[in-house]
Structure 1
Amino acid sequence: MNEARPVPAIELAGVRKSFGPMEIIRGVDLVVAPGERHAVIGPNGAGKSTLFHLISGHYRPDGGTIELRGEDIAGMPPQLINRRGLSRSFQVTNIFPRLSVWENVRCATLWAMGHKYAFWKGVERLDEVRRRTEEILTEIDLMDRADVPAGVLTYGEQRALEIGLTIAGSADVILLDEPTAGMSHAEVERVVALIRKVSENRTLLMIEHDMHVVFDLADRISVLVYGQVIASDTPERIKANAAVQQAYLGTEAA
């Protein structure tokens, strides 16, 4: 007797998206298992960021289904998807540069814990917010930078902070869009170690161009070319896939 397949953390079937006459996403099927680290790779212009916008609710698909743990979220507003446990980062660092590192994380924590603006409430009195902020800063290794304005952090530290904002709401499915782009080798090593740590007991879907990072982190890899997934498999099989090598990896991966 076959065992039932676990409900995927993310499942896309026949997803399509066009902008005017140009079809960017052309019938994408994608399955990300719970607890999996899954990378999406592909050449520039393949539609990777558009795919993330569709999953996170920033774009509405023209066709197909997008499910989060079996629930249809296609076209749902981003804030509602976030409340269902999915959070994402962006290619461009998205922080409050004039606020301290502590204040950045506390802002994200306040919203995630249901606290709205109320002038009669002193934010310093919210012990559960303070504890959660400390937990996140410890997890992303920025506790010793808590009082520093976020705008003066190194680029690698700013990306680490953005990862902290991504997990502030206790999301168990996180999307990271090119988390190591533009970093030095030392910064990449630090952020890869951070991603490995924060993705424990979470599902990770990431876009990444650095193949060393991809093959180091990912349990499975999907290759997107011209809006279609041409392969989805383990890193070892993706490396050996002739169609993938021809379309994207070239001889370097071999």
Structure 2
Amino acid sequence: MSAPAIELAGVTKSFGATRIINGVDLAVAPGERHAIIGPNGAGKSTLFNLISGRLSPSDGTIRLDGEDITGQPPSRIVARGLARSFQVTNIFPKLSVWENVRCAVLRAMGYRPSFWRSVERLPGVAERTAQILERIRLGHRAATPAGMLAYADQRALEIGITIAGDAGVILLDEPMAGMSHSESAHALALIRDVTRGRTLLMVEHDMAVVFGLADRISVLVYGRIIATDTPDRIRENRAVQEAYLGTVAA
């Protein structure tokens, strides 16, 4: 049996005397789409920052594909096959859509800044960039400055940047934040497509998206996971209803 793609054991995180993450155990299977939900202030983004290396846990262990990554820097974790997006759109607004994705491709392919090589001649870069733009349905906007895109297209571009390294594990932090219903539907189809065959761990407040996409859901309340189960069972879980879902569960 293969190791979990992501595994947390007894993970805690304190800031001074305040404990934000309180003994989290979590296992996400390879190829699973897993959502973390919970009220504001539950610690969801802190948990993402711990997994991706932006923060180090106060205690506990984090493993990626069976390898201990506890406290490792983000660059090393990315090299091991994990990529993430953020709540706030994280793009280069003055660069074109093409240039944004190409920057991510260059890094993923191991190229570093050089005054002696033309980026246009680097083998495989243009092809990979074009493939990603078509995958995120922005090929027709390749020359557009990223800052001129509609908000939903900027989020799609960030997803393209996230998958540029062909990581096996993707973390998406509130990918639907600020979107209309129609934009969310488009983004949902995009996420379902680009994460096919990958492991997805997602934080999201849009319950229609969560219940429509996730194979399993974990509910985080006050830094503790109070339930992990299939969407149907989470919907029916009385403790979850009382702690978070409320009328949504009905």
Q: Do residues 63 (structure 1) and 35 (structure 2) align?
A: no
Indicate the SS of the match to 1:120. coil
Distance 1:164 1:239 in 2: 31
Partner amino acid for 2:54? H
Q: How many residues of Structure 1 are paired with residues of Structure 2 in the alignment?
A: 250
Map of 1:147 onto structure 2 = 143
Q: Do residues 183 (structure 1) and 179 (structure 2) align?
A: yes
Structure 1 segments unaligned to the other structure (5+ residues) = none
Which stretch of the first structure deviates more once superposed, 123-132 or 97-106? 123-132
Q: Deviations over 1:178-220 (max 9, x none)?
A: 0000001111011000000001010000000000000000000
Map of 1:225 onto structure 2 = 221
Partner amino acid for 2:221? V
Partner amino acid for 1:247? A
Map of 1:161 onto structure 2 = 157
Aligned counterpart in structure 1 of residue 199 of structure 2, from 197, 203, 224: 203
Structure 2 segments unaligned to the other structure (5+ residues) = none
* Residue 6 of structure 1: how far off its partner (Å): 2.4
* Residue 126 of structure 1: how far off its partner (Å): 1.4
Q: What RMSD over aligned residues (CA atoms) do the two structures have, in Å?
A: 0.6
- Structure 1 runs (4+) deviating above 3 angstroms are none
TM-score by length of 1: 0.98
TM alignment of 1:26-45, pairs within 5 A: 26-45=22-41
* Percent of residue pairs bearing the same amino acid type: 69
Aligned counterpart in structure 1 of residue 87 of structure 2, from 85, 91, 114: 91
Q: Deviations over 1:206-243 (max 9, x none)?
A: 00000000000000000000000000000000000000
Distance 1:34 1:180 in 2: 23
Distance 1:20 1:186 in 2: 43
Indicate the SS of the match to 1:206. strand
Distance 1:8 1:190 in 2: 30
Distance 1:69 1:82 in 2: 13
Partner amino acid for 1:110? L
Map of 1:242 onto structure 2 = 238
Indicate the SS of the match to 1:222. strand
Indicate the SS of the match to 1:51. helix
Distance 2:203 2:32 in 1: 14
Q: Do residues 194 (structure 1) and 180 (structure 2) align?
A: no
Indicate the SS of the match to 1:103. helix
Map of 1:124 onto structure 2 = 120
